[in-house]
Amino acid sequence: MNTPRRILVLYAGGTIGMVPSSRGYVPGAALPDYVAEQTAQYDDLRPHRWHVESMAPLLDSANAQAGDWYAQAQILWRWQDRIDGAVILHGTDTLAYAASFLSFLMQGFGRPVVITASQLPLGVQYSDAPANLLAALRCALLSDLHEVALCFGGQLLRGNRVVKLGPSPDEGFASPHWPVLGDTRRHATLHGQYLLPKQAISAAPKLNGISASVGLLRLYPGIPASVVQAVGQAHPQGLVLEMYGIGAGPSINRQLCTALGQLHHAGTPVVAVSQCPYAAVKDLGVYESGQAFAQQGVIAGLDLTPAAAFAKLHYLSTQGLLAESAQWQASIQTPLVGEVTP
């Protein structure tokens, strides 16, 4: 008989455990009891040891911030020597950010970290919560999984590659630039060729991420330079710039370009990603309108999602890995946990 595995289930909040109130749906406290019932009910789950812990306070994920994901990472690292895997129950609104942050913060953890959520709460008719939860619990038992992954809608996706598409339980998330890691509709099966290889177990990174300030700005027609200046000043550790298509922007706005150059010289790395989920910014020199941005120090973010670029800048800043501007491009474009295709 296989040795029972020890799994930590961390309940952070989100729709999956919400209950109705006079203020609308809010996170409820009963989800840990439901997890205990499920793990005792199924033959393949019953032999294993499950510990459920709730964050305080439980959050609607629309209110989640970087500090919350650093706090979750701290809990997981404290449990490292006592567990064989972890499940995080989260909300969908900021799930792509959570999965991206945790993918960097859990490097060297050496165990599967599976995040799941739902579009409808438990107990609501046609809710996707029971299926997503059961699938995530089963994926956390997989010894061949060594990364942070999202289990949702019958699929297992690399956490730092996901984007939210909409409110559909079946098609809520996609991984535009990396294949599906596994199928969870009946049994949890992995597609081994797409997984991250097992790496040496290491110590936790610096987890003081609240000190970093990184921003994200979407270009739009007529955007004034003052917006870039204000956002850059508010977020001196980095700025993710969502550009058009494969890396175009309003280069005719010379004040805007100058403002980006000023950020670069002030020590704020600016990373360009695409507004289009299925496009990538591989070369800012393709169009004149992109070349003008590159000349101001803007870095092509390749196929990083906006959430992954945001999280990576945050991580690199807190780890002290963005000290030299000459190294910014290599740091952004070199994959750490499968988040970007070099």
Catalytic residue numbers? 92
Query: Is 14 within 8 Å of 99 (Cβ atoms)?
Result: no
Tell me which residue of 20, 42, 30, 18 sits closest to 131, measured CA to CA.
42
Residue 46 falls in which region: left (phi positive, over 0), alpha (psi -120 to 50) or beta:
alpha
Strands across the sheet with 270-274, in order? 214-218, 238-243, 270-274, 299-300
Query: Is 8 within 8 Å of 83 (Cβ atoms)?
Result: yes
Using alpha carbons only, give the angle 107, 109, 66 rounded to the nearest 5 degrees: 55
**Cα 257 to Cα 295: distance, rounded to the nearest angstrom:** 9
| Per-residue burial over 6-41, b = 16 or more CB atoms within 10 Å of its CB, e = otherwise | bbbbbbbbbbbbbeeeeeeeebbeebbebbeebbee
Beta bridge partners of 273: 242
Joined together, the tokens standing for residue 335 give 């994959």
Helix (H) or strand (E) holding 105: helix 95-105
Distances (CA, A) of 90 to 9, 27, 76, 185, 294: 11, 10, 15, 20, 37
Distances (CA, A) of 127 to 91, 120, 153, 194: 14, 5, 11, 30
**Cα 253 to Cα 96: distance, rounded to the nearest angstrom:** 32
Joined together, the tokens standing for residue 134 give 């059961």
**Are β-strands 26-27 and 18-19 bridged in parallel, bridged antiparallel, or unpaired?**
antiparallel
